Structure 1
């Protein structure tokens, strides 16, 4: 079983690149469904909600299918763990984030039975809620649907 596309790599690139830079990868993007967005907050739930809203707005998941919402939620949490270094707390720890995000839905395996997967990537900054005291952070979460 070899991979045909790397949804995590695509999601990470989309989260990190500007819109102009992302246009260089249009051929690769034709193979997947995706959405992008930005969020800044001291509230973890607001970050999760921003991603969920973008995904639903772009119809990347079917809202009435629990397994799709569940897969998205776990991919978001896994990606946030990377950004927050394993401590899923932002405001409670006097931290704030400014993140770009991307969600990619695709079939990363040639074997059809492996189905579709979701990748969520965050790239941006995290740090004390004082301008200039933040540093770069990145997180990636992948889950099967």
Structure 2
């Protein structure tokens, strides 16, 4: 049941997110049997962030739309990552905060034993702050969940 140190899903999701050469990273991850995609979202509403990430996952074939457990796993990974960005309080517009985020979604098996199944990681990086230009700061979040 040991994690494969060469396949740490959270580390890979963050490296993809922060890469200066995302196309090369996506190619490398694909060659290593990971499924991945990148996207951007900005909003004062958390549900719009969730919707943008779910839409990207569906459009890029990372989750099957007719299999509930896949959407459910993605949702929990998103919410965990959002908690990191929002410092535990997943509230945006209602407390006058807005985010501008880049996200990465990664799917695969991080374990040595293939029977452990697939996992999903969502990493978020960008800014959060008052909805006034220049009143924001950087933030990062990571969420990992089994499918």
TM-score where L is the length of structure 1: 0.93
Distance across 1 between alignment mates of 2:43 and 2:62 = 24
Unmatched tracts of structure 1, length 5 or more: none
Distance across 1 between alignment mates of 2:82 and 2:40 = 14
1:27 aligns with 2:2: no
1:132 aligns with 2:121: no
Residue number in structure 2 paired with 1:13: 15
Residue number in structure 1 paired with 2:89: 87
Of the three residues 73, 76, 85, the one matched with 1:74 is 76
Check the 8 A contact 1:83/1:126 in 2, yes or no.
Answer: yes
Residue number in structure 2 paired with 1:102: 104
Unmatched tracts of structure 2, length 5 or more: none
Runs of 4+ residues deviating >6 angstroms: none
TM-score where L is the length of structure 2: 0.92
**Displacement of 1:12:** 1.1
**Displacement of 1:15:** 1.9
Distance across 1 between alignment mates of 2:29 and 2:105 = 14
